Amino acid sequence: MSEPDERRRPSSRTLPKAASGIRGLDEITGGGLPRGRPTLVCGSAGCGKTLLAMEFLVRGATELGEPGVFVAFEETAEELTQNVRSLGFDLDDLEAAGQLVVESIHVERSEIEETGEYDLEGLFIRLGLAIDSIGAQRVVLDTIENLFGGLYNAAILRFELRRLFRWLKDRGVTTVVTGERGEGQLTRHGLEEYVSDCVILLDQRVNGQLSTRRLRVVKYRGTVHGTNEYPFLIDETGISVLPVTSMGLDYAASDERIPSGVPRLDDMLGGYGYYRGSSIMVTGTAGTGKSSLAAHLVDAGCGRGERCLYFAFEESARQIVRNMRSIGVDLEPWIDQGLLRIESVRPTLHGLESHLVAVHKLVNEFRPRIVVIDPLSSFRSAGAGSEVQSMLLRLIDFLESAEITGFFTSLTSGGSPLEQSEVAISSLIDTWLMLRQFEVGGERDRGLYVLKSRGMAHSSQIREFRLTNRGLDLLDVYAGHRP
Partner 1 sequence: MTPAREQDPPVVSPDAAVAWELRLYVAGQTPKSIAAFNNLKRICEEHIAGRYRIEVIDLMVNPKLARDDQILAIPTLVRKLPDPIRRIIGDLSDTERTLVGLQLRPRRG
Min dist CB 106 to partner 1, Å, is 7
- Would you call 373 exposed, middle or buried from its count of C-beta atoms within 10 A (0-12, 13-18, 19+)? buried
Is residue 100 within the footprint of partner 1 (CB under 8 A)?
Answer: no
Min dist CB 131 to partner 1, Å, is 12
Residue type, 442: G
Which residue's CB is nearer to partner 1, number 124 or number 449? 124
Q: Which residues touch 104 (CB under 8 Å, ≥6 apart)?
A: 71, 72, 75, 76, 77, 80
- Ranges within 131-170 binding partner 1 (CB under 8 A): 151
Min dist CB 129 to partner 1, Å, is 5
Is residue 77 within the footprint of partner 1 (CB under 8 A)?
Answer: no
Stretch near partner 1 under the rule CB under 8 A, chosen from 19-27, 42-50, 122-130, 292-300: 122-130
Min dist CB 147 to partner 1, Å, is 8
Stretch near partner 1 under the rule CB under 8 A, chosen from 15-23, 112-120, 376-384, 421-429: 112-120
Which residue's CB is nearer to partner 1, number 117 or number 439? 117
Q: How far apart are CA 291 and CA 285, in angstroms?
A: 12
Q: How far apart are CA 446 and CA 439, in angstroms?
A: 9
Find the binder of partner 1 among 116, 248, 414, 415 (CB under 8 A): 116
Cβ atoms of 321 and 334 closer than 8 Å: no
Q: How far apart are CA 126 and CA 102, in angstroms?
A: 11
Find the binder of partner 1 among 79, 92, 121, 365 (CB under 8 A): 121
Q: Which residues touch 237 (CB under 8 Å, ≥6 apart)?
A: 87, 88
Strands, E assignment, 327-403:
340-344, 370-374
Min dist CB 178 to partner 1, Å, is 18
Q: How far apart are CA 457 and CA 454, in angstroms?
A: 8
Secondary structure of residue 362 in the 3-state scheme: helix
Which residue's CB is nearer to partner 1, number 147 or number 472? 147
Which residue's CB is nearer to partner 1, number 63 or number 119? 119
Residue type, 9: R
Is residue 113 within the footprint of partner 1 (CB under 8 A)?
Answer: yes
Cβ atoms of 126 and 69 closer than 8 Å: no
Min dist CB 71 to partner 1, Å, is 11
Is residue 103 within the footprint of partner 1 (CB under 8 A)?
Answer: yes
Is residue 422 within the footprint of partner 1 (CB under 8 A)?
Answer: no
Is residue 106 within the footprint of partner 1 (CB under 8 A)?
Answer: yes
Is residue 63 within the footprint of partner 1 (CB under 8 A)?
Answer: no
Residue 305: which region, alpha, beta or left (left: phi > 0; alpha: psi -120 to 50)? left
Stretch near partner 1 under the rule CB under 8 A, chosen from 77-85, 104-112, 212-220, 387-395: 104-112
Cβ atoms of 351 and 207 closer than 8 Å: yes
Is residue 78 within the footprint of partner 1 (CB under 8 A)?
Answer: no
Q: Which residues lie near partner 1 (CB under 8 A)?
A: 103, 105-107, 110-123, 125-126, 128-130, 151
